[in-house]
């Protein structure tokens, strides 16, 4: 479980449309509300800004992404103030230590906390008992903390556009509208449409290091089985997903033969209509 008061929501253009539901989340999320202007290249090769594209298109690309309308080459965003110091902590709990009850309780309190406090839950193999104390750091250091970099890493790593992690991964997502019952947590059991009605967003993520078909298929099959298991506990009709996780299982358009029904199916899931 990670906690962080007062952090910012913007991490590059993709964060602007993200759930990320992230730093300073309760104050400035979603990031798309803080976009002031954009430059987009349309299908005719024209470079358009907010004024020349018109408010309707500007409204659409902020909440639904630019891929359906052109290539977005830059954003102008409104900056937000960040506090000089933030406090972060990470606590590990095993099943034997009551992790199931903790996660169940988290569903009822996380979205009710003060707007300066953000708490997320990560369910993973922790390899035994471990806990961390609260740590004060600058806001920009907390960006490294949440990105998984060791304490003391140079801030220059944020300027590197190539992520040092070379592993492979598959990600899927869900939105939860009602708390998952405790039994369901047991082993045996803008045009941004997700502002209201959802308690939280789930990301399912599996990673592996070896680029071999057999290993890749094994991990992808595992996450698909997990996704299937969670069906009764998440949003329905449609089962919603977060656009920028780019889950190809939801549907893809063939390069030369895109089908309307395929696109509609994806649209209903990520844009709710």
Average pLDDT per 10 consecutive residues for the chain, totaling 273 residues:
37 35 51 85 93 90 77 87 81 82 86 80 64 73 80 83 74 80 57 64 86 91 90 84 77 64 61 55
71 alpha carbon, distance to own chain's centre:
22
Residues with catalytic function: 245
Residue 162 to residue 160: CA distance in whole angstroms: 5
Residues 156 and 45: beta-carbon distance below 8 Å: no
Task: State CA 223 to chain mean position distance.
Answer: 17
pLDDT, residue 196, reads 62
Q: Which residues contact 68 (CB under 8 A, 6 or more apart)?
A: 60
Sign of the dihedral through C-alpha 120, 126, 132, 136? negative
d(CA 82, CA 175): 28
Helix (H, G, I), strand (E, B) or coil at 87: strand
Copy the structure tokens of residue 145.
């903390």
pTM of the model: 0.54
Domain map of the chain by residue range? Answer: 1-151, 168-271
User: Which pLDDT score is estimated for 10?
Assistant: 30
pLDDT at residue 221, as a whole number:
93
Residue 25: which of 4, 46, 47, 55 has the closest Cα? 4
Domain topology for 168-271: Vanillyl-alcohol Oxidase; Chain A, domain 3 (3.40.462)
- b/e burial code for range 216-243 (CB count within 10 A of at least 16 → b): eeeebeebeeebeebeebbbeebebbbb
């Amino acid at each position: 479980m990670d906690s962080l008061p007062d952090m910012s929501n913007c991490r590059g253009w993709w964060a602007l449309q993200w759930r990320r539901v992230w730093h300073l989340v309760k104050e400035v999320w979603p990031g798309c509300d803080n976009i002031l202007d954009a430059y987009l290249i349309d299908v005719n090769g024209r470079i358009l800004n907010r004024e020349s594209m018109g408010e309707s298109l500007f409204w659409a690309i902020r909440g639904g992404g630019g891929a359906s309308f052109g290539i977005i080459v830059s954003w102008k965003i409104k900056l937000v103030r960040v506090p000089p110091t933030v406090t972060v902590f990470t606590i590990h709990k095993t099943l034997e230590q009551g992790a199931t009850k903790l996660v169940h309780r988290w569903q009822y309190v996380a979205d009710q906390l003060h707007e300066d406090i953000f708490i997320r839950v990560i369910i993973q193999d922790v390899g035994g008992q471990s806990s961390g104390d609260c740590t004060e750091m600058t806001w920009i250091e907390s960006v490294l903390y949440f990105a998984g970099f060791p304490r003391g890493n140079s801030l220059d790593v944020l300027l590197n556009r190539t992520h040092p992690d070379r592993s492979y991964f598959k990600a899927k997502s869900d939105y939860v509208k009602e708390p998952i019952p405790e039994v369901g947590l047991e082993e045996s059991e803008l045009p941004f449409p997700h502002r209201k009605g959802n308690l939280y967003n789930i990301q399912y993520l599996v990673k592996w290091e070896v680029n071999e078909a057999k290993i890749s298929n094994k991990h992808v099959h595992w996450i698909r089985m997990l996704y299937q298991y969670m069906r009764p506990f998440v949003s329905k009709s449609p089962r919603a997903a977060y656009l920028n996780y780019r889950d190809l299982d939801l549907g893809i358009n063939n390069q030369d033969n895109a089908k309307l029904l395929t696109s509609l199916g994806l649209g209903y899931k990520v844009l709710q209509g």
